[in-house]
Amino acid sequence: MGDLNEFKLKHRVFLKAYRWREIRPTPWHTLSKPLSQCRVAIASSAGFVMPHQEPFDDTIKGGDPSFREISGDIEPSLLRESHRSDAFDHAGLRRDPNLAFPLSRLRELADDGQIGHVNHRHLSFMGSITAPGRLIKVTAPAAVQSLVADEVDSALLIPV
């Protein structure tokens, strides 16, 4: 894990002053069947979009609370990263989207029988949302409903 001193001064000041939220109780659901029989989806906050999709809007104060559906059959190298934060080096994500959207790895797990199925769609969010009210009240329920409609058993959450 990194050290706070690795960040630029503006990010250190922001992180020390930010009002962190804690959700209690922590939402949790035990799987009712083996992972080898589960349909799995990815939900990443790396800000990836497919080539034909609009990038996330970095002008929205508090962060863009929307999400993009990412097709399960896309070649990960075609994903475009549009994360707004300058608190980290984006070069790795641009070079290999699997670092924060491990679709190729998920396919390998399905091929090896470690998971049952890779869902036909996945979700991409913008990280660095400093005003999460709209995300919690509007976006998250819509995103979850799409995964429920797909009968997803487990979601791989990738925070960026």
Classify residue 11: in a domain, yes or no: no
Classify residue 54: in a domain, yes or no: yes
Number of domains comprising the chain: 1
pLDDT for residue 29: 82
Classify residue 10: in a domain, yes or no: no
Grade residue 19 by pLDDT with cuts at 50, 70 and 90. Answer: confident
Burial grade of 155 (CB within 10 A; 0-12, 13-18, 19 or more) = middle
Query: What residue numbers bound the domain in which 126 lies?
Result: 33-158
Lowest mean pLDDT of 3-12, 31-40, 91-100, 138-147, name the range.
Answer: 3-12
Classify residue 44: in a domain, yes or no: yes
Tokens of 107: 């396919």
What is the average per-residue pLDDT within 24-32? Answer: 84
- Quick: pLDDT tens for 88-107: 888 999 999 999 999 999 99
pLDDT for residue 88: 83
What is the average per-residue pLDDT within 18-38? Answer: 86
Contact 41, 122 (CB under 8 A): yes
* Region label for 57, one of left (φ > 0), alpha (ψ between -120 and 50) or beta (otherwise): beta
Classify residue 112: in a domain, yes or no: yes
Is the pLDDT at 1 greater than 60, yes or no?
Answer: no
Classify residue 94: in a domain, yes or no: yes
- Quick: pLDDT tens for 53-101: 999 999 999 999 999 999 999 999 999 999 888 888 889 999 999 999 9
Q: pTM (2 decimals)?
A: 0.89
Query: How far apart are the C-alpha atoms of 77 and 119, rounded to whole Å?
Result: 18
Query: How far apart are the C-alpha atoms of 13 and 72, rounded to whole Å?
Result: 39
Q: What percent of the chain has pLDDT over 70?
A: 99
Question: Which DSSP helix (H) or strand (E) runs through 143?
Answer: helix 140-149
Classify residue 131: in a domain, yes or no: yes
Classify residue 13: in a domain, yes or no: no
